[in-house]
Amino acid sequence: MLQRIHSIIVILLCGLSFITCQPSQSASSKTIVDANQYASFWIWGDISTAAYLKQAKELYILQGEIRLDQSTQNSILTPQGISILKIPHQKVWLVYRNHHLNWQKPELEKILKRIKQWENVGNQIQGIQIDFDAKTKNLKQYALFLQTLRKQLPKQYQISITGLLDWTNVQDAQVLNLLRQNINELVIQTYQGTSTIPNYQSYLKRISAMHLPYKVGLVQNGQWINPAFIQQDPQFKGYVVFLLRSKPRI
């Protein structure tokens, strides 16, 4: 009898040891964001030519930054990013990093001029993307700014905006309606700097309640577990990878 009990204990301990030694589902499915596996990218500066860029279907290309001059209170658009490319087989969004909501007439005039320059060499310009880190409590002001921008921007051009994970906490119906009426997509950023935000999945679980067409922004080489639940969300439109500049070779 004692020998039988001893055998059972040994079997149980072996089984427990096997279970504890197995990697968890999250650990086993954790991957590094490999640009070769994606088709949409942010290009924020000079990026070395790579196969994934040639195969890309959609590019978000930085073209300027808009700031308010504190001494003159004039809004200034400073050109940034890469020069005009001829990439007629790829969809292109021109991205503008924004720092205030008091735009004056010249900003949009310069943006439209830049759009025409890209179009004149045969590119498919989808529209513009505004990259503005609005605090969640100030999202109504930003939504009203986007409403004005939508009225001023020619209808053939779409509006994309980047968004912070914290925006998924917004429940103000007026704010959400303004966004639905005036933007074509939200690209929500799951990273800070060059690292993925650890608890991004808890935020993404709430994004479907916003009822906005959205994409998920990833950072190249960041850690990522592909959430199964967003694949089933009809509002989910894919991923956009922020490309990092290559480290100089020594």
SS3 of 246, please? coil
Give CA–CA dist 8/56, Å, rounded.
58
Give CA–CA dist 62/242, Å, rounded.
11
What pLDDT tens digit does each residue of the chain (250 aa) get? Answer: 434 434 433 333 333 333 233 223 233 356 899 999 999 999 988 776 788 888 899 999 999 999 998 888 899 999 999 999 999 999 999 999 999 999 999 999 999 999 999 999 999 999 999 999 999 999 999 999 999 999 999 999 999 999 999 999 999 999 999 999 999 999 999 999 999 999 999 999 999 999 999 999 999 999 999 999 999 999 999 999 999 976 544 3
Predicted pLDDT of residue 250: 38
The secondary element (H helix, E strand) that includes residue 214 is strand 214-219
Residues 41, 244 contacting (CB under 8 angstroms) = no
Architecture of domain 31-242: Alpha-Beta Barrel (3.20)
Strand 91-98 relative to strand 195-196: parallel, antiparallel, unpaired?
A: unpaired
Predicted pLDDT of residue 30: 60
Cβ-Cβ contacts under 8 Å for 16 (sequence gap 6 or more): none
DSSP letter assigned to residue 208: G
Predicted pLDDT of residue 2: 38
Predicted pLDDT of residue 247: 54
Distinct helix (H) and strand (E) counts, the chain: 8, 13
Predicted pLDDT of residue 246: 66
